[in-house]
Amino acid sequence: MTELAEGMEVTPSIRLKRRLGAGGMGSVWIADHSALRTEVVVKFLADRLAEDPTSQARFAREASAAAQVKSPHVVQMLDHGVTAGGHPYIVMELLEGRDLAQEIRRRNLEPHEVGHVVEHVALALGRAHARGIVHRDIKPNNIFLCDMGTPLPFVKLLDFGIAREGEQNLTSTGQLIGTPAFMSPEQLSGKPVDAQSDLWSLAVVALKALTGQNPYERPTIPETMGAVVHGDVPVPSKLLPGLPAGVDAWFARACAHDPKRRFSGATELSEALWAALGMPRAVVSSPSASSGPLPPPAATTVSITPSEPVTEGTLRSTVDQPPRKSTIEGWSSPGTNRTRFAVAAAIAVVLVLGLALAMGAWTTTGVPRLGSALGGVARQSLELGARARRAAEPQAPSLPTTPSASAKPSVKKPGVGRPRTKEDDDLGF
């Protein structure tokens, strides 16, 4: 194999620029994408693993699984393949910001920040689980806080390298892959895992972000595994006094040893956390929300809409209103129908009155006067009908000379990027 180096061509459009870091599983580089005129991240599988079919399959699956989720809360995959020199690679978007592990090392997150992170990750997991994809490596290093220039970051889930799709499993019997302190009891026990395992891990991530501690962590891997599989479920308020009692109940359910006792899905997990925190999700979760003080906690549980929120950075920006239904083509609104009915009624009344007058004229003066009367009535009816039709026709609205006060300027999504500098963990392996 040729050695990776600055200036090396990955594809005709992608050329390596600088290395971010390297570890036992491979390396990560910044590269220029000439066709897109932007920088991207290129991830390479280590040379020693490039000849191993299982490692190759797992590496390729990282790209395919993330692409299948089709969520704005999952890092975007741009390409994957093998270079002319024999190096398996994945090309992905370059994110700007920091991963959650870096942020936790700096400080404990505020409760509303944790609720926001959990909600965004839950949106990604909900899409993945619906497609039969279990991530299996939910941890702070794989959760990225994208800097969007807003009070709260846009959160993306990274690294589907050990994800399981359907019944496919690329790990050997007895092989442990993941981070033990964030792995569910069933995963550490070697049992089959499903979506409940990811939710267990996300709850432990939330506890770590809130308190700065993961009570399952021990000095050695066997001790950590024993704490997860056989230990008691931690009580968050004992780690951080002042947390609402509802958070303790939420964590006890989210991390129950029996998966059947946990939340049924990612949406329920996220909504229950907002309710346990006593905060309305709609106020604090959107990245475009005001950076001012948060509202006081609600006294009771919060009713939350289960649909995905429309936020800056998502693929949805507008909601189309459905057109009004019509029963007769051309009569499209109740107002127009009422107006046209009134016109028709008026014409009918005039015709009836005219006919009555004409009959009177027949009896007194004969045919000549009848013809004159009918002609006059017809002219009056036509003039009245024309005036009524003109009044009923819709008038073109006048264009405003100044922008509407409620109109919002379009928001250009800033570039996104993701530098990772620590070996293995920070490289996304």
Asked if 160 and 136 count as a contact pair (C-beta separation under 8 A), the reply is: no
Asked if 59 and 81 count as a contact pair (C-beta separation under 8 A), the reply is: no
Q: Which residues are catalytic?
A: 137
H or E segment to which residue 60 belongs: helix 53-69
Asked if 76 and 397 count as a contact pair (C-beta separation under 8 A), the reply is: no
Instruction: Residue 84: count other Cβ atoms within 10 Å of its Cβ.
Output: 10
Give the amino acid at 243.
Answer: L
143 vs 98: CA distance, rounded Å: 9
397 vs 285: CA distance, rounded Å: 38
Radius of gyration of the chain (CA): 33
* Sheet-wide strand order for 77-82: 9-11, 14-23, 26-33, 38-45, 88-93, 77-82
Asked if 128 and 135 count as a contact pair (C-beta separation under 8 A), the reply is: yes
DSSP 3-state assignment of 126?
helix
Owner of token pair 């990274």: 158
Asked if 281 and 302 count as a contact pair (C-beta separation under 8 A), the reply is: yes
The DSSP result for 223-255, as a single string, is HHHHHHHHSPPP-HHHHSTT--HHHHHHHHHHT
* Sheet-wide strand order for 143-146: 97-99, 143-146, 154-157
Instruction: Residue 177: count other Cβ atoms within 10 Å of its Cβ.
Output: 14
301 vs 246: CA distance, rounded Å: 10
188 vs 227: CA distance, rounded Å: 11
Owner of token pair 């293995």: 424
Q: For residue 4, which phi and psi values (nearest 5 degrees)? A: -70, 135
96: buried, middle or exposed (CB in 10 Å: 19+, 13-18, 0-12)?
Answer: middle
Helices (H) and strands (E) in the chain, counts: 12, 11
